[in-house]
């Protein structure tokens, strides 16, 4: 009895010391965040900061990898050799972005296999935008112009994210996304300026279908975004969902004018007082349906990813066998 009481006392004391140490670590962490310092993988961080980062980075990685599918569908149908080479390079870049991001996620202590498993089992999210179909060649240019355009708008502030491995990955990703956006705009410009009436109509149809889903990419309105306040406090998110969405609309209006397409929103109007473009109401029911797995292509996308993973098992096994042979040779 007596000994047990001593044990309990010792355990309580140890817990108090840990709590005190943790409080000090937390204080130091908060001060570093307030000072705009970057946090490195080996630094102490609160559990929830780690979890939030892992959630965002892995969702981002999954988006890049699933995002290869809608465009990949068109590699074999690109209209010229030049466009095919550009599209191949772009889709390959997206694969690379996924890898940088999985690597950044791994620095938080979760393996790539665990992250991929969460995607395949439907536990993890990826961007809503990749659950829409690519119906014509103009969709490919429109993805470059609008989807990559929205991605850049959202991702440039992440280059200053408080978690350094994520911020570093984003610098390279943003440079490549910038090329992606330009190639898309250029491809649409060629169709609009030198193309036939049918090609111009095809571009307008693609813009009509992609515009609203692109506005949804930035996430729910600020007052309905459960993760925003803490994400901003920690410097993971630097600019709010609504602010980024507005910046995107403001940038696109003039680009649409130069292109000669109409953005499908009768409420789009310059607001001289706000010095921003007003825009119509977003269909948030559609957004939540797509996020919840009921979008036009959710099932198809996930099935393709799982199949690609299963089909690639022999490559992973062969690479592992080769690595262990090399290790044995070196040891000998
Ligand atoms: N789709 O509280 P918030 C690309 C979820 S990469 C699906 O506002 P948060 C490149 C959100 O996760 C595109 N789910 O959340 C490319 C949360 O659910 P949870 C991806 C969404 O994290 C181009 C819930 O709603 N980019 O395009 C979406 O503060 C072409 C409540 O939302 C990134 O991932 C959505 N659109 O803000 C590739 C950038 N929006 O997790 C190929 C990094 C929100 O609590 C071809 N991520 N949700 O269950 C971010 O900046 C943020 O995570 C947001 C969401 C802004 C996406």
Atom of ligand 1 nearest to the CA of 71: 46
Helices (H) and strands (E) in the chain, counts: 14, 2
How much is the pLDDT for 111? 97
* CA–CA separation, 208 and 214 (whole Å): 11
- Strands of the chain (E only): list them: 269-271, 276-278
Asked whether the predicted pLDDT for residue 1 surpasses 80, the reply is no
- Residue range 134-166, pLDDT digits in tens: 999 999 999 999 999 999 999 999 999 999 999
Strand bridging mode 269-271 / 276-278: antiparallel
Give the largest Cα separation in the chain, rounded. 92
The neighbouring-strand residues paired with 271 are: 276
Provide, rounded to the nearest whole percent, the portion of the chain with pLDDT above 90: 93
DSSP assignments along 269-300, one per residue: EEETTTTEEE-----HHHHHHIIIIISTTHHH
- Residue range 79-126, pLDDT digits in tens: 999 999 999 999 999 999 999 999 999 999 999 999 999 999 999 999
* CA–CA separation, 166 and 41 (whole Å): 10
Q: Which residues contact 160 (CB under 8 A, 6 or more apart)?
A: 167, 235, 238
Q: Which residue has the higher pLDDT, 210 or 16?
A: 210
Asked whether the predicted pLDDT for residue 4 surpasses 60, the reply is no
* C-alpha 126 to ligand 1 mean position (Å): 7
Asked whether the predicted pLDDT for residue 5 surpasses 60, the reply is no
* CA–CA separation, 130 and 70 (whole Å): 7
How much is the pLDDT for 253? 98
For residue 22, CA distances in Å to 27, 164, 233, 236, 274 come to 8, 22, 19, 21, 45
Rg (CA), the chain: 24
* CA–CA separation, 218 and 212 (whole Å): 11
How much is the pLDDT for 20? 82
- The residue whose C-alpha atom lies closest to atom 23 belonging to ligand 1 is 148
Q: Which residues contact 75 (CB under 8 A, 6 or more apart)?
A: 84, 87, 88, 91
How much is the pLDDT for 3? 46
How much is the pLDDT for 19? 84
User: What lines the ligand 1 site, CB under 6 Å?
Assistant: 55-56, 59-60, 63-64, 67, 94, 125, 127-128, 143, 147-148, 151, 154-155, 216-220, 225-228, 231, 237, 241, 291
| Helix, strand and coil percent figures for the chain, each rounded to 5 | 75, 0, 25
**Which region among 11-15, 28-32, 69-73, 156-160 has the lowest average model confidence (pLDDT)?**
11-15
User: What is the rounded average pLDDT of the residues 267-292?
Assistant: 98
In 3-state terms, what secondary structure has residue 39?
strand
The neighbouring-strand residues paired with 270 are: 277
- Residue range 240-265, pLDDT digits in tens: 999 999 999 999 999 999 999 999 99
Spatial CA neighbour of 220 closest among 207, 234, 231, 210? 231
Mutate to test the pocket of ligand 1, among 219, 221, 287 (most ligand atoms within 8 A of CB): 219
Q: Which residue has the higher pLDDT, 309 or 4?
A: 309
- Residue range 18-30, pLDDT digits in tens: 788 889 999 999 9
pLDDT-derived band at 330, boundaries 50, 70, 90: very high
Provide, rounded to the nearest whole percent, the portion of the chain with pLDDT above 70: 95
How much is the pLDDT for 8? 63
- Residue range 54-70, pLDDT digits in tens: 999 999 999 999 999 99
Evaluate whether 171 touches 111 at the Cβ level (below 8 Å): no
Spatial CA neighbour of 247 closest among 223, 276, 225? 276
How much is the pLDDT for 17? 64
How much is the pLDDT for 11? 62
- The residue whose C-alpha atom lies closest to atom 4 belonging to ligand 1 is 151
The secondary structure element, H or E, covering residue 64 is: helix 47-66
- Angle at the Cα of 54 from the Cα atoms of 232 and 283, rounded to 5 degrees: 60
Q: Which two tokens stand for residue 56?
A: 């965002």
* C-alpha 321 to ligand 1 mean position (Å): 37
* C-alpha 128 to ligand 1 mean position (Å): 8
């Amino acid at each position: 009895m007596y000994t047990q009481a001593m044990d309990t006392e010792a355990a309580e004391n140890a817990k108090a010391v840990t709590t005190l140490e943790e409080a000090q670590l937390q204080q130091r962490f908060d001060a570093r965040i307030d000072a705009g310092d970057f946090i490195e993988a080996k630094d102490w961080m609160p559990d929830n900061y780690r979890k939030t980062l892992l959630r965002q980075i892995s969702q981002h990685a999954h988006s890049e990898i699933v995002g290869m599918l809608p465009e990949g569908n068109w590699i074999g149908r690109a209209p010229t050799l030049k466009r095919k080479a550009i599209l191949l390079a772009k889709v390959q870049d997206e694969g690379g972005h996924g890898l940088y991001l999985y690597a950044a996620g791994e620095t938080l202590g979760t393996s790539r296999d665990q992250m991929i498993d969460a995607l395949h089992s439907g536990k993890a999210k990826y961007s809503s935008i990749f659950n829409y179909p690519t119906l014509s060649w103009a969709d490919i240019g429109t993805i470059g112009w609008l989807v990559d355009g929205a991605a850049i708008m959202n991702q440039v502030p992440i280059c200053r994210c408080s978690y350094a491995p994520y911020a570093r990955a984003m610098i390279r990703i943003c440079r490549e996304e910038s090329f992606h956006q330009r190639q898309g705009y250029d491809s649409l410009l060629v169709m609009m300026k030198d193309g036939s009436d049918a090609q111009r109509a095809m571009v307008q149809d693609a813009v009509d279908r992609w515009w609203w889903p692109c506005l949804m990419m930035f996430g729910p309105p600020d007052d309905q975004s459960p993760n925003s306040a803490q994400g901003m406090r920690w410097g993971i998110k630097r600019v709010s969902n609504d602010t980024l969405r507005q910046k995107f609309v403001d940038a696109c209006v003039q680009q649409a004018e130069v292109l000669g397409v109409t953005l499908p929103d009768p409420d789009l109007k310059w607001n001289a007082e706000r010095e921003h473009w007003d825009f119509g109401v977003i269909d948030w029911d559609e957004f939540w349906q797509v996020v919840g797995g009921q979008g036009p292509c959710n099932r198809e996308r996930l099935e393709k990813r799982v199949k690609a993973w299963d089909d690639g098992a022999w490559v992973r096994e062969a690479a592992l066998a080769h690595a262990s042979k090399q290790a044995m040779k070196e040891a000998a």
